[in-house]
Structure 1
Amino acid sequence: MPTIRLPAHNWQPRWYQRPAWNAWEQGCKRQLLFWHRRAGKDDVNLNMHAVSAYERPGTYWHMLPEAAQARKAIWNAINPHTGKRRLFEAFPPSIIANMNDHEMFIRFKDVDSTFQVVGSDNYNSLVGSPPVGITFSEWALANPAAWAYLSPILAENGGWASFITTPRGSNHAKGMLDVAKKDAFDPVSNPLGWFTEVLSVDDTKAISAEAIERQRREYTGLFGKEVADLLIEQEFYCSFSGALIGSYWGAEIARAERALRIGTPFDIDPRYSVHTAWDLGKASNNPIWCFQVIDGVPLIVDFYVPDSEDLGDWCKWLDEQGYHGNDYVPHDILHPQWGTKRTRLDTLKDHGRKPKMVGMVSLAEGNNAGLQTIKVARFRKAERVDDGIEGLKAYRREYDDDKKTFRDIPVKNWAEHYASAFRYLGLAWRQAVAEVKKPEGDKGAYVAQADGTIRSQQTVKEAVDAMIRRRRAGR
């Protein structure tokens, strides 16, 4: 049998790719690379997978934000310079025992290793052996919950993870960079640290100024000059400024952050009920926003993405947190559950929840309700809420290549589910009625009205008598 040298076809990293490749060869198990467009990020990582598969037998994943995107960008992609499939340049057919095109799966010869191209949109439903090496490609667009789910697995088995991306605003990827830079990899003093790198075209000189300007003119024709300049800065100069292109709510969230209505710590007020807003689906597609309404202001206090398919588990989690307010749910809660005549509405009531259906409106009306809510809401500083906000930032429209404009249709990915639940919150929070606990010695409760105001249930005489008592007590 002929000997196969890996990387195959005499592949070598380019000079600017060499530091990342060398760090990986020296044992670095965590990399975060912000490299400009067409810098060869995926090619480097495909070759890392090929070498690693024979150095350490195991399961390897190359993960993109969506499975459909993974098929187009990696599995079926053709290298325009060679005319060959990029996959076979890293994995020559002579080392492949078998392939499954539907599953985008490869089993290697002479070693118990496999490679699969997958999407982070279904990270928690992938089956098989736990991975020992993962590439998170286009990480800035991926579901950050994928890493939260998979990182304990790699920590336990000593596997590696490489995050490769271009910037997409100041989102979870930028936050990861800020933290990882403080834990820098060193093969001697800190072998468990991170290798991080931000490379723009000014650093690599890999793309000519003329080519970039041609791209700028093309973007200008598609999106206008302002958006074109932003795209060029993001994709070629690795700028972190600006919202995600096509984002429904990104600009308004940025304004809320500047106004300190996002990311400021505050406590949950125990006098007010915590309500919930749901986007009913399977576990990973059913995020739940938790909120209070106080003095006419919606306060977003928690966010929950279930990790099981059991609706009872979701209710148990909410009960354990003490969230016993109304559960605002879409109308499809009335659909019978598979194989039964019972609905999810019945199940929620069985578990002591208080489901209330939100009126049916158009996508545009729901999006506007979400937008108007972001303009007035306060978001509590908490890790789970931060994860939810990343979904709101990433909620964006599809682009129509034929009509050269954005469609009024959201991209169907993880962020769309986060946003769907928030649309229901936007439609429901003014309906939320929260009772305030009666202060000691007072008669009657204070009740928040549907318009957000708070009114006393006391009569005028009772209120005057209470005022006189307080004044006398203050003497």
Structure 2
Amino acid sequence: MEYEFRVRWYQRAFHEALVNRTYDRLIAIWHRRAGKDEIVLNAMRELAWKSPGTYWHCFPEQKQARKAIWNGVNGHTGKRRILEAFPPQIIKRMQDDDMFIELTNGATFQLIGSDRYDSTVGSGPKGIAYSEWALSNPSAWAYHSPMIRETGGFAAFITTPRGNNHAKTMFDRAKESPSWFSELLSIEDTRALSGDDLAEALQEYQDMHGIDLGRAIFEQEYLCSFAGAMVGAYWGAEMAQAEREGRICDVPVNHDYPVHTAWDLGKAVNNPIWCFQVIDGKPRVVDFYRPESDDLEEWVRWLDDRGYKGNDYVPHDAVVTEWGTKRTRVETLQLLKRKPKRVAKVSVADGINAGRKTIQAAVFDKERCELGIEGLKNYRREWDDELKTFRENPVKDWAEHIGSSFRYLGLAWREAMVQQPKEKPKKDIAFEADEKTGVIKSNLTFAELIKRQEKRRRA
């Protein structure tokens, strides 16, 4: 069957590696407007037609998939993008609600979102592609990867850079692995746009964001620069500094000190918990937990099993009725033998400032806190298109709750500060027997003995 689709010269290596299944894992870091999703959509159709099975195309959010692909229209042809990639003559049925297509050969294709990754059920996919991977929830791949391994399928990751986050980490690892296809294409590699087009794009960014920030965004979008923090990130510079200073490293738990926790007790799942200690007046972030269920007892069991039994710092509004019960969340935690302490109510701006200062002082365990660290890098402000400025409120994506719970950590850790473990006090007696020899000895000097005798005589 013939299709009106032409692979551009600079897209060929990735396209061929994908459709020929040369690699099971692929990552392509391409500049803006390089045709990433177009390549993936058409490759998915070819693969589904040659090898029937289940195929998924995952966007950062489900609503983005609907807007960009399912309902999106190609400005050059005036046709729906999904129907250009999957012509009606090969479609058996389409389901609009869940953006699902069944082909006449039995294969299926579906658009999904990393914000609802755990809602994907049924038979495992033969292939999955993540669009704008740098903005996606990295937990999605952790959840999907066992399915892909079971089917012997492939996973492809396409994105433009968004600072030094999980996409950069994956790309760096892929470059060192012979089992991965990896490719970075900037506008200087593809020459896909003219000099005039690029000058216009740069001017637009600078008009919207100012000269310096506008150039940084242009270099990120078109030159595929990973330098600097994600644009709009609250704590990007602080996290970058922590990495440079080696404060994201191996941080063992010191069992002489309590391990406290900071929670964002929101709706059901996605309530991340930071686990930290305070030693020598400094916060040590030793662990991170993101529940996959709404079972509070399961969360507490996770903490108890690790011996994390310090204070549990929760939002000020944790006294509202807990999910499906007549108890408050604080009462529920108390019944589970935890020690909840409410964090005083402050503005989001004050919480963010507290989080910033905390990052500047803290060390983070690199392995146990990996997902949490990525969340802190991705926690960012919304952009107001009309006012051409960042709003104060955070983007409501997978990183929002991670950042929120860290705000509570930032507000709480000084209260959790404790003294160094005290030495055992000397026994307040004049004489004692040595435990091994039985010899009577004194823990007081001769002068102290005389003084004590005088004191007793006066009494």
Q: TM-score, normalised by structure 1?
A: 0.86
Q: Give the letter aligned to residue 81 of structure 1.
A: H
Cα separation, partners in 2 of 1:348 and 1:84, compared to 1, 3 Å: same
Distance 2:128 2:118 in 1: 14
CA contact (8 A) 1:283 1:307 kept: no
CA contact (8 A) 1:76 1:85 kept: yes
**What is the match of residue 243 of structure 1?**
229
CA contact (8 A) 1:283 1:306 kept: no
**What is the match of residue 129 of structure 1?**
123
**What is the match of residue 374 of structure 1?**
359
Give a deviation string over 1:135-184, Cα, whole Å, max 9, x none: 11100111111111211210111111110001111111111111111212
Q: Helix, strand or coil: the match of 1:155?
A: helix
Cα separation, partners in 2 of 1:354 and 1:45, compared to 1, 3 Å: same
Among 421, 424, 446, the alignment partner of 2:405 is 421
Distance 2:154 2:317 in 1: 42
Distance 2:421 2:400 in 1: 37
**What is the match of residue 25 of structure 1?**
19
CA contact (8 A) 2:383 2:389 kept: yes
CA contact (8 A) 1:273 1:435 kept: no
Q: Helix, strand or coil: the match of 1:332?
A: coil
Q: Helix, strand or coil: the match of 2:156?
A: strand
Give a deviation string over 1:311-354, Cα, whole Å, max 9, x none: 11111111111111011111332222344212322221222211
CA contact (8 A) 1:272 1:435 kept: no
**What is the match of residue 314 of structure 1?**
299
Distance 2:304 2:330 in 1: 17
**What is the match of residue 434 of structure 2?**
none
Cα separation, partners in 2 of 1:99 and 1:435, compared to 1, 3 Å: farther
Q: Give the letter aligned to residue 187 of structure 2.
A: V
Q: Helix, strand or coil: the match of 2:369?
A: helix
**What is the match of residue 166 of structure 1?**
160
Distance 1:250 1:107 in 2: 42
**What is the match of residue 82 of structure 1?**
77
Among 256, 265, 268, the alignment partner of 1:280 is 265
CA contact (8 A) 1:181 1:194 kept: yes
CA contact (8 A) 2:251 2:365 kept: yes
Q: Tell me how far 1:206 sits from its aligned partner.
A: 0.8
Q: Helix, strand or coil: the match of 1:414?
A: coil
Q: Tell me how far 1:35 sits from its aligned partner.
A: 0.7
Residues 1:219 and 2:214 are matched in the alignment: no
Q: Give the letter aligned to residue 203 of structure 1.
A: D
Q: Give the letter aligned to residue 15 of structure 1.
A: W
Is there any run of 5+ residues in structure 2 with no aligned partner, and where? 429-443, 449-459
Q: Tell me how far 1:79 sits from its aligned partner.
A: 1.4
Among 180, 184, 189, the alignment partner of 1:194 is 180
Q: Give the letter aligned to residue 61 of structure 2.
A: E
- Residue-pair matches, total: 431
Distance 2:150 2:11 in 1: 29
Among 137, 141, 145, the alignment partner of 1:147 is 141
Q: Helix, strand or coil: the match of 1:345?
A: helix
CA contact (8 A) 1:35 1:165 kept: yes
Q: Tell me how far 1:377 sits from its aligned partner.
A: 1.3
Moved more, 171-180 or 330-339: 330-339
Q: Give the letter aligned to residue 239 of structure 1.
A: S
Residues 1:97 and 2:92 are matched in the alignment: yes
Distance 1:329 1:55 in 2: 53
**What is the match of residue 256 of structure 1?**
242
Q: Give the letter aligned to residue 421 of structure 1.
A: S
CA contact (8 A) 2:251 2:363 kept: no
RMSD over equivalenced CA pairs, Å: 2.1
Q: Helix, strand or coil: the match of 1:74?
A: helix
Cα separation, partners in 2 of 1:442 and 1:115, compared to 1, 3 Å: farther
**What is the match of residue 309 of structure 2?**
324
Distance 2:78 2:36 in 1: 19
Q: Give the letter aligned to residue 63 of structure 1.
A: C
Q: Tell me how far 1:68 sits from its aligned partner.
A: 1.9
Distance 2:15 2:354 in 1: 47
Q: Helix, strand or coil: the match of 1:276?
A: strand
The structure with the larger Rg is 2
Q: Give the letter aligned to residue 304 of structure 1.
A: Y
Distance 2:268 2:289 in 1: 10
CA contact (8 A) 2:60 2:113 kept: yes
CA contact (8 A) 2:279 2:420 kept: no
**What is the match of residue 454 of structure 1?**
none
